[in-house]
Amino acid sequence: MNGVEPAIRVKGLAKRFGAKTVVDDFAIEVPRGIIMGFLGPNGSGKTTTIRMLCGLLTPDAGEGACLGFDIRRQAGEIKKRVGYMTQRFGLYEDLSIRQNLDFIGRMYDVRPLQARVDEILEQFGLTQRRDQLAGALSGGWKQRLALAACVLHRPELLLLDEPTAGVDPNARREFWEMIHELAAAGVTILVSTHYMDEAERCHRIAYLAWGKLLLVGSVDAVVAGSGLTTWAVIGPDLADLQRQLKGRPGLDMVAAFGTALHVTGTDPAAIEASIAPFRADPRYAWEPAQASLEDVFIHTLARVGADRR
């Protein structure tokens, strides 16, 4: 990044709630102006990690900086420069779009307020709906309003916690176009998501499970570094074929993907030996395939889960 200080640089972060360790020895560097995707199963520590990264939650261990400010000693300065969007709609449903934005603007002492609200209404396509009650909006428009409220005070960092959960595909696509426009303007964005297609829209991803950072990097780098070999097979009675393949040597995962099965493992020779008898069956067509991001996540989760047992 040409010597530019990263938006976030932390190491050794840990957070415990009672006897449970929710985040354990977390370290990451997030360059400015990128979209960093946070992925992982429910309860993996994503939200807790994001809150510690931006000073909203004090870590029990570890250190680092966000936007050039110490996450422990200067959390107040960080909060002024962050926009945070929770999964649940957090604005006032009995106020209009404009009234909600006015209220948020006063909270952050935005000046000149009315001019900035007009600008945001235009930027997010809300001008014609400005007098509509927030509670009457569809899920997609509510998320658009929530994002508009997040950027009203011109934050340098956006934290989006599963922002498109329950939103229809068209609204999700439009939402991500807005996210990319903000990143192109220099805003750094951390977004947690369960959707693989959304993960692939991020510049970099971090995959967490059991409070541990398991994978980090661009999608291409994460897939390429997984060491997975994958074969795809199509044909009749794939459910029966799946049952026959499961548990054979070298086949770490046999999963249905649409009208095909993906057969995945880390030992190419062992995979080929195990599928050889089935490749001789003329009913099935086999071909090498690229491991998907979902393949990588499932394999990583299974491997780390086995190590924990």
The one-letter amino acid code at 62 reads G
| Residue pLDDT, tens place only, 75-130 | 999 999 999 998 788 899 999 999 999 999 999 999 999 999 999 999 999 999 99
Give yes or no: residues 122 and 216 share one domain: yes
Give the whole-angstrom CA distance, residue 91 versus residue 101. Answer: 9
228, HSE (Cβ side, Cα atoms, 13 Å)? 30
Query: Does residue 296 lie within any of the structural domains?
Result: no
> Pick from 202, 223, 244: which residue ends a domain?
223
Give the whole-angstrom CA distance, residue 299 versus residue 133. Answer: 46
Mean pLDDT of 142-170: 93
Query: Does residue 182 lie within any of the structural domains?
Result: yes
Give yes or no: residues 93 and 135 share one domain: yes
Q: What is the CA radius of gyration of the chain?
A: 23
CATH number for 278: 3.30.70.2070
Give yes or no: residues 243 and 201 share one domain: no
Query: Does residue 303 lie within any of the structural domains?
Result: no
pTM reported for the whole predicted model? 0.90
| HEC assignment per residue over 94-162 | CCEHHHHHHHHHHHCCCCCHHHHHHHHHHHCCCHHHCCCEHHHCCHHHHHHHHHHHHHCCCCCEEEEEC
Query: Does residue 300 lie within any of the structural domains?
Result: no
Query: Does residue 68 lie within any of the structural domains?
Result: yes
What is the predicted pLDDT for the residue at 182?
Answer: 97
Q: Please list the alpha-helical segments (H only) found in 134-267.
A: 139-151, 169-184, 196-199, 219-224, 238-245
Query: Does residue 307 lie within any of the structural domains?
Result: no
Give yes or no: residues 148 and 20 share one domain: yes
Give yes or no: residues 234 and 189 share one domain: no
Give yes or no: residues 106 and 239 share one domain: no
Q: Which candidate, 87, 79, 91, places its Cα nearest to that of 126? A: 91
What is the predicted pLDDT for the residue at 56?
Answer: 85
> Pick from 223, 238, 256: which residue ends a domain?
223
Give yes or no: residues 85 and 214 share one domain: yes
Give yes or no: residues 280 and 201 share one domain: no
**Average pLDDT score over the chain:** 93
Tokens found for residue 191: 């977004």
Give yes or no: residues 30 and 109 share one domain: yes
Domain that holds residue 37: 8-223
Query: Does residue 94 lie within any of the structural domains?
Result: yes
| Cα separation values, 26 from 14, 56, 78, 268, Å | 7, 16, 19, 33
| Residue pLDDT, tens place only, 213-251 | 999 999 999 999 999 999 999 999 999 999 999 999 999
What is the predicted pLDDT for the residue at 309?
Answer: 52
Query: Does residue 295 lie within any of the structural domains?
Result: no
What is the predicted pLDDT for the residue at 2?
Answer: 54
Q: Report the first-to-last Cα separation within the chain, whole angstroms.
A: 40
Characterize the bridge pairing of strands 157-161 and 188-192: parallel
Q: What percent of the chain has pLDDT over 70?
A: 97
Mean pLDDT of 65-76: 94
Q: Domain count of the chain?
A: 2
Give yes or no: residues 129 and 246 share one domain: no
**pLDDT at residue 43 tops 50:** yes
CATH number for 129: 3.40.50.300
| Residue pLDDT, tens place only, 255-265 | 898 899 999 99
> Cis before residue 112, ω within 30 degrees of 0?
yes
pLDDT band at 299 (very low <50, low <70, confident <90, very high): confident
What is the predicted pLDDT for the residue at 1?
Answer: 45
What is the predicted pLDDT for the residue at 88?
Answer: 80
What is the predicted pLDDT for the residue at 184?
Answer: 97
CB 292 within 8 A of CB 206: no
Give yes or no: residues 147 and 279 share one domain: no
Give yes or no: residues 246 and 115 share one domain: no
Mean pLDDT of 52-74: 93
What is the predicted pLDDT for the residue at 42?
Answer: 87
pLDDT band at 132 (very low <50, low <70, confident <90, very high): very high
> Pick from 223, 249, 282: which residue ends a domain?
223
Q: Which candidate, 206, 216, 182, places its Cα nearest to that of 85? A: 182
